[in-house]
Amino acid sequence: MLTEIQEGKALNSVVKHITQEKINLYAEASGDFNPIHIDESFAAKTPLGGTIAHGMLNLAYVSEMMTSAFGRSWLSEGKLRAKFKEPARPGDTLTIDGKISCVEQKDDVSYANCNFECRNQKGEMIVTGETIVKLSSDKE
Amino acid sequence: MPVKTISYEELIPGYEFPPATYELSASLVSKYLKAVDSAGDGFVPPLAITACAIAAMTGSLSLPSGTIVIHASQELEFFKLVPIGDTIECHTGVAQKITRGKMSMLILELEVFDKGKEKVQSGRATIALPT
C-alpha cells in the first residue's frame, strides 16, 4: 500500500507476460470464448492477424496495480475509465504504470485521481485511462 | 434450460438482457485469480464480477459466425466489497447502437447487485464489431 498520497506520486508498476495459455485460462474463467482470443487459425485470417488478449484481462492488471496501492479503498469504492488502444498479443510483455494526478477534497472526503498506461515491450500504448479512489472522510 | 439468445439485428437501445445470477464460490474466484496471475486478497476481485456481467450479456447474444468483437472502452464504479461465497445478480442492457460505415458499435450498461439487493458495481462498455 502507498504510505504517501500526494500529487505526482508513482504507483508500483505491474509487469505481466502474455501467453496464449493465459488467454485461454482467462477465456475459461470469464466464459468469453470469442475465437479472436482463442482460435489461432481463425484469428490469423482476420485483420488482427492473430489472437489477442481479452481487454478485461489487461484491465485486471490495472486493477492489481490499484489494489496494491490503495487496498480495500480501491476494491470497495474505486472508479475506472479505460480506453483500449491496441490489442495485447501472445508474447507481449505488458507494463502498467500509474501515478496520482491530483488529490481532491469534496464534501469532507478525499479522493485520489490517478492516470494509468499499459504499454507493451515496444512501447506501444495498449490501454490508457483514469481511476478515482475514495481515500477517507474527515467525518469517519 | 437453454439460455434464450437475441441476435445483433434485434438489439435496440433500451433492450435488457435476462438477469443472470452467479455464486462467487472459492473455486470460481480461484480460477479467475489463476487466469489473471494474481494472489488475491480474500475478496472477490471487482473485475471478476465485471467478467460475470459481461458473460451474462455475451451468453445471451447471438452473433453471426466469424464476428470479431473488440472491446473499445470500459467504465466501472465499485460500491462495496464482495466476500467470496456471495451471490450476485447481473443486470445488463443496451444503451446505444451505432453504425458508422463498416463499424458497428454497442454501448452496453451493467449493474450488479448482491443478495441483499445492494448495488456492488455499475459500468458501461463500448464494443466494436467491424463488419
Q: Which among A36, A75, A114, A128 is the top mutation candidate for probing chain B, defined by the most B β-carbons within 10 Å of its own β-carbon? A: A75
Note the pLDDT tens digit of each residue in A35-67.
Answer: 999 999 999 999 999 999 999 999 999 999 999
Q: Each residue of A12-29: pLDDT tens digit?
A: 999 999 999 999 999 999
Kindly state whether residue A49 falls inside one of the protein's structural domains.
no
Q: What is the pLDDT of residue B76?
A: 98
Residue B94 to residue B87: CA distance in whole angstroms: 24
Kindly determine whether residue B45 and residue A60, on different chains, have CB atoms separated by under 8 Å: yes
The answer to whether position A96 is within a domain reads yes
Q: Cβ–Cβ of A75/B31 closer than 8 Å?
A: no
Q: How confident is the model at residue A2 (pLDDT cuts 50, 70, 90)?
A: confident
**Number of independent structural domains in chain A:** 1
B55 and A31: CB-CB below 8 Å?
A: yes
Q: Which of B36, B44, B68 to mutate to test the interface with A (most CBs of A within 10 A)?
A: B36
Is A84 close to B46, i.e. CB distance below 8 A?
A: no
DSSP-derived secondary structure for chain A:
--S---TTPEEEEEEEE--HHHHHHHHHHH----HHHH-HHHHHTSTT-S----HHHHHHHHHHHHHHHHTHHHHHHEEEEEEE-S---TT-EEEEEEEEEEEEEETTEEEEEEEEEEE-TT--EEEEEEEEEEEEETT-
DSSP state, B65? T
ipTM, two decimals? 0.92
- A57–B contact, CB cutoff 8 A: yes
The answer to whether residue A41 sits within a structural domain is: no
Paired strand residues for A79: A132, B77
In a domain, A128, yes or no: yes
CB of A123 less than 8 A from some CB of B: no
Q: Does some domain include residue A100?
A: yes
User: Is A47 within a domain?
Assistant: no
Neighbours of B35 (CB within 10 A): 23
Q: Does residue A32 form part of some domain? A: no
* Domain housing A115: 10-18+55-137
Within-domain flag for A115: yes
The CATH number given to whatever domain includes residue A99 is 3.10.129.10
A66-112 pLDDT per residue, tens = 999 999 999 999 999 999 999 999 999 999 999 999 999 988 899 99
Bridge partners of residue B56, in order along the sequence:
none
Distance from CA of B12 to the nearest CA of A (A): 22
- Closest partner residue to A79 (CB to CB) among B47, B73, B76 is B76
Residue A125 has pLDDT above 90, yes or no: yes
Q: What residue in B sits closest to A17 (Cα-Cα)?
A: B37
Contact state of B81 with A16 under an 8 Å Cβ cutoff: no
Q: Which residues of chain A does B68 touch, with a Cβ-Cβ cutoff of 8 Å?
A: 34, 36, 46, 48
Output the pLDDT for position B58: 84
At residue B5, the pLDDT reads: 84
Inspect the interface and report whether the beta carbons of B51 and A31 lie closer than 8 Å.
yes
Q: What is the pLDDT of residue B42?
A: 86
Q: Is A48 on the interface with B (CB under 8 A)?
A: yes
Q: Which of A20, A24, A76 to mutate to test the interface with B (most CBs of B within 10 A)?
A: A76
Cα-to-chain-centroid distance, residue A100: 15
Contact B74 A74 (CB under 8 A): no
Spans of chain B below 50 pLDDT: 1
